[in-house]
């Protein structure tokens, strides 16, 4: 039974999906105090949140079984994604479900800001009839500067064009092709800031975008500019905005989000030029249904070990590529495990070489699997999510290359590991209809099924060495299932690769290593 903890209000349409799942126990506790969350998360398998719950490193550390954190929405700035990645916890979001709602909300704010609608309404319900004070401005022919032209920014741009606005956008990751397709002009941040009549931000809140609009930016703006933030508090420096409004530089601002939420008695909210909503961008029935359904479906997939999408801490793999790589996954993991177990010592670097039909594919997911296999030799909590992160954290160099040398196979994966003790190279292939095989170790050709208990013995190619190994294992009741011998020169260095029916205890391995002409003995468990 999987415990799914829900700590922010989620649409019942999503929760019902989990309710119908026989392997899920739902614990729905919104407004948990931080201490109570630390307790409740301990035995949870998944956590579902919106933007309110602060999923800090402390919360993630307290979790003993957590496999996934689902964000029913876009922004994950309330989740310590690095801490989750370090612990191998998948973080997913629901990026598409609230785009239209947030774009429409931004547009509602834009019009309300241009025509002073909230202020006029307040005045009217106070019993006044003031038509002079609330004279607004038209949107037609005004320049709208959009900072961040992703999903929401693009929808805002389309609506602005319908209102005959002159749309300019700054987004460092926007290609000229996309800008042309949307029908807007791409510009530098400075041009957007200096020439726009309205400026709206639609970036995530990151180290790069925090206070992207600060006092220096306000200085460069056109007098009378109007500012909108329906993305994240903190992209605009609230102190600088306050000064810019008070000085008369900025004519008005529309804010849906704040650096601290709720903002409390914020000085910006006391200014008549500021209109605001309490983070309502995604608050429509449609958006909430969309994001809750999306995230609940995906969380079930993750818990059940099925393919899923929208992971924030994993690169997304197109379904077609996943299909092509799937047969190689187990070989890749076993090559990683084999290489490091056969080598021992502190891992310094891993080089993976792909040949044959693999050269035409994006093999990064396989390299990640190889790393997972290798690191699982000495780390207990390594998984597909944190393998690359843990390797980086430990300063392990990971290199991927593609070559045409196939040695007669249609596909070939070669893993070279370098530890503080030695270097080892292991190659494997997927044989058509016969499954995976390890076909080479350090240049010695072999043919071994990568599974079960294996013994890798390095010896000198002398008469009697093989017999002595067989006799000693037999004496201790260890049955040899298969044995392969590889050598380069007669009488020189050689290897034996044995698969045995049960684990070989350390004292027997030591006895084997003391036999005449035997040099090293490594046990490998796959």
Ligand X SMILES: O=C(O)[C@H](O)COP(=O)(O)O
For 460, counting Cβ atoms within 10 Å of its Cβ (0-12 exposed, 13-18 middle, 19+ buried), the class is middle
| Identity of the residue, 145 or 153, whose beta carbon is nearer to ligand NAD in the bound complex | 153
Q: Pick one of ligand NAD, ligand X, none as the site partner of residue 50 (Cβ within 5 to 8 A by kind).
A: ligand X
Q: Name the segment binding ligand NAD (CB under 6 A); options: 19-27, 201-209, 328-336, 391-399.
A: 201-209
Is 357 designated active site?
no
Q: Name the segment binding ligand NAD (CB under 6 A); options: 171-179, 295-303, 433-441, 458-466.
A: 171-179
- State the Cα–Cα distance between residues 288 and 280, nearest whole angstrom: 11
Q: Is 95 in the site for ligand NAD (CB under 6 A)?
A: yes
Q: Name the segment binding ligand X (CB under 6 A); options: 58-66, 79-87, 221-229, 277-285.
A: 277-285
Q: Pick one of ligand NAD, ligand X, none as the site partner of residue 147 (Cβ within 5 to 8 A by kind).
A: ligand NAD
Q: Is 98 in the site for ligand NAD (CB under 6 A)?
A: yes
Q: Is 9 in the site for ligand NAD (CB under 6 A)?
A: no
Q: Which helix (H) or strand (E) holds 333?
A: helix 329-343
| Identity of the residue, 78 or 363, whose beta carbon is nearer to ligand X in the bound complex | 78
The only residue of 3, 50, 105, 202 in contact with ligand X, by rule CB under 6 A: 50
By C-alpha distance, which of 216, 243, 244, 211 is closest to 229? 211
Instruction: Select which of 71, 143, 159, 232 is catalytic.
Output: 232
Q: Give the dihedral of Cα atoms 371, 79, 316, 430; nearest 10 deg.
A: 20
- State the Cα–Cα distance between residues 244 and 297, nearest whole angstrom: 45
Query: Tokens at residue 17, please?
Result: 């999906």
Backbone angle region of 315, left / alpha / beta, with phi > 0 → left and psi within -120 to 50 → alpha:
beta
Instruction: Select which of 28, 58, 259, 261 is catalytic.
Output: 261
- State the Cα–Cα distance between residues 383 and 331, nearest whole angstrom: 16
For 175, counting Cβ atoms within 10 Å of its Cβ (0-12 exposed, 13-18 middle, 19+ buried), the class is exposed
Q: Name the segment binding ligand X (CB under 6 A); options: 44-52, 334-342, 362-370, 452-460.
A: 44-52
Is 232 designated active site?
yes
Q: Is 129 in the site for ligand NAD (CB under 6 A)?
A: no
Q: Which positions from 222 through 241 interact with ligand NAD, judged by CB under 6 A?
A: 230-232
Is 261 designated active site?
yes
Q: How far is CA 111 from CA 33, 275, 291, 450, in A?
A: 38, 11, 27, 65
The only residue of 14, 73, 153, 234 in contact with ligand X, by rule CB under 6 A: 73
Residue nearest to ligand X (CB): 73
Instruction: Select which of 105, 226, 279, 437 is catalytic.
Output: 279
- State the Cα–Cα distance between residues 236 and 258, nearest whole angstrom: 9
- State the Cα–Cα distance between residues 216 and 97, nearest whole angstrom: 35
Query: How many other CB atoms are found less than 10 A from the CB of residue 521?
Result: 23
Q: Which positions from 59 through 78 interact with ligand NAD, judged by CB under 6 A?
A: 74-75
Query: Tokens at residue 467, please?
Result: 């017999």
Q: Pick one of ligand X, ligand NAD, none as the site partner of residue 158 (Cβ within 5 to 8 A by kind).
A: none
Interface with ligand NAD by CB under 6 A: which residues?
74-75, 95, 98-99, 102, 147-153, 170-173, 202-205, 208-209, 230-232, 256-257, 279, 281-282
- Residues binding ligand X (CB under 6 A): 50-52, 73-75, 98, 279, 281-283
């Amino acid at each position: 039974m999987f415990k799914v903890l829900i700590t922010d209000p989620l649409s019942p349409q999503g929760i019902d999906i989990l309710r119908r799942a026989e392997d899920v126990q739902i614990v729905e506790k919104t407004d948990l105090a931080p201490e109570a969350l630390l307790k409740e998360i301990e035995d949870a398998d998944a956590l579902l949140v919106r933007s309110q719950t602060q999923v800090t490193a402390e919360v993630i550390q307290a979790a003993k079984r957590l496999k996934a954190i689902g964000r029913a929405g876009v922004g994950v700035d309330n989740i310590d994604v690095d801490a989750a990645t370090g612990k191998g916890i998948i973080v997913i979001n629901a990026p598409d479900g609230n785009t239209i709602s947030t774009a429409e909300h931004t547009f509602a704010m834009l019009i309300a800001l241009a025509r002073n609608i909230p202020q006029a309404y307040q005045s009217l319900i106070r019993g006044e009839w003031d038509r002079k004070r609330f004279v607004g401005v038209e949107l037609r022919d005004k320049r709208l500067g959009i900072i961040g032209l992703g999903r929401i920014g693009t929808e805002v741009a389309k609506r602005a064009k319908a209102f005959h606005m002159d749309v300019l956008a700054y987004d460092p990751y926007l290609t000229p092709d996309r800008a042309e397709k949307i029908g807007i002009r791409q510009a530098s941040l400075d041009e957007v800031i200096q020439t726009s009549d309205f400026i709206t931000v639609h970036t995530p809140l990151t180290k790069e975008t925090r206070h992207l609009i600060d006092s220096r930016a306000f200085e460069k703006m056109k007098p009378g500019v109007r500012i909108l933030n329906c993305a994240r508090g903190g992209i605009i420096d609230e102190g600088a905005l306050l000064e810019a409004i008070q000085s008369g530089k900025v004519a008005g601002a529309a804010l849906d989000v704040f650096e601290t939420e709720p903002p409390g008695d914020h000085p910006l909210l006391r200014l008549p030029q500021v209109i605001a909503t309490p983070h309502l961008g995604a608050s429509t029935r449609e958006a909430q249904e969309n994001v809750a359904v999306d995230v609940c479906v995906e969380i079930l997939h993750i818990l059940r070990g099925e393919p899923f999408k929208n992971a924030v801490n994993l690169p997304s793999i197109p379904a077609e590529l996943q299909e092509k790589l799937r047969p190689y996954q187990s070989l890749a993991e076993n090559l990683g495990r084999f290489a490091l177990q056969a080598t021992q010592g502190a891992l310094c670097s891993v080089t993976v070489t792909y040949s044959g039909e693999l050269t035409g594919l994006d093999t990064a997911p396989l390299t990640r699997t190889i790393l997972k296999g290798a690191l699982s030799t000495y780390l207990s909590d390594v998984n597909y999510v944190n393998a690359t992160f843990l390797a980086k954290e430990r300063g392990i160099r990971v290199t991927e290359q593609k070559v045409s040398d196939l040695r007669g196979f249609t596909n070939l994966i070669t893993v070279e590991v370098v530890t503080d003790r030695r270097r080892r190279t292991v190659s494997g292939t997927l044989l058509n209809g016969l499954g995976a095989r390890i076909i080479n170790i350090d240049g010695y050709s072999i043919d071994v099924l990568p599974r079960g208990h294996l013994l890798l013995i390095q010896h000198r190619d002398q008469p009697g060495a093989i017999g002595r190994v067989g006799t000693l294992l037999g004496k201790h009741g260890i049955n040899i299932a298969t044995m392969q011998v590889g050598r380069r020169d007669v009488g020189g260095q050689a290897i034996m690769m044995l698969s045995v029916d049960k684990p070989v205890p350390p004292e027997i391995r030591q006895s084997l290593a003391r036999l005449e002409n035997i040099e090293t003995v490594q046990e490998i468990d796959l």
